[in-house]
Amino acid sequence: MTDFVFTPPPQASVAMAGEAARFPVRRIFCVGRNYAAHAREMGKDPDREPPFFFTKPADAVVDSGATIPYPPETANFHYEIELIVAIGGGGADIRPEAALDHVFAYGVGIDLTRRDLQFEARDKGRPWDWGKAFDRSAPIAPLHRVANVGHPAKGRIWLAVNGAVKQDADLAELIWPVPDIISILSRSMTIRPGDLIMTGTPAGVGAIVPGDKVTGGIEGLGEIAIAIAPR
């Protein structure tokens, strides 16, 4: 048994739909600008850019139903609804046609973003970490096993703020679908069980403030809800 100089933090995890057991989170990979309309609203050309990735810490995850304090050092706090891919089988240099064999479950998540810090970093050619990888920045609803939902390649993805729909698209609009995302990611590093992939957000991102109620969902994968509290 390994001795540590202090007690290790609890294992980060995400709930499983209809199960008491939880999915242990190892790493969180996020795909940037993976819907054409969102790429355009961020001022980029989706037809010329290969997929790129950024990360969030595993302990950024929070369950659906959480109340999230407005984070520090921002005045432009944004929502981004996303399809979540939960990896159950590791591998490197995975071919696209074999990529779905590595998926354990799918779910609904929100990539919370300190947009002003992200844009400041982007404009200076710096990493996005302070805009993306902060505390409680990855709310994720219970995951659904592939055996129960299959591999969703299409279906409505949406988000609403205080009941008003802000994002409304279809998974079929992904520039890089799930098999390609897994394959491309696995060329750079070995993926492992417990890894999560946030696959990108549709157009319609915007700011949220304390008191807002954020809801969203993906056809066949349920819904997510969070509340924003004062700083």
pLDDT digits (tens, 9 = 90+) for 5-14: 999 999 999 9
Q: Where are the domains of the chain?
A: 20-229
> Dihedral through CA 193, CA 196, CA 199, CA 203, nearest 10?
170
- Cβ partners under 8 Å of residue 41, min gap 6: 203, 204, 205
Selection from 80, 95, 106, 66 nearest residue 158 by Cα:
80
Q: What is the pLDDT of residues 55-66, one digit of tens each?
A: 999 999 999 999
Helices (H), the chain: 36-41, 96-99, 115-123, 129-132, 146-149, 178-188
What pLDDT is attached to residue 32? 84
Check whether 35 has a pLDDT greater than 90.
no
What's the fold here for domain 20-229? Fumarylacetoacetate hydrolase; domain 2 (3.90.850)
CB-count burial class (<10 Å; 0-12, 13-18, 19+) for 230: exposed
Q: What is the pLDDT of residues 151-179, one digit of tens each?
A: 999 999 999 999 999 999 999 999 899 99
pTM of the model: 0.94
Q: What is the pLDDT of residues 193-207, one digit of tens each?
A: 999 999 999 999 999
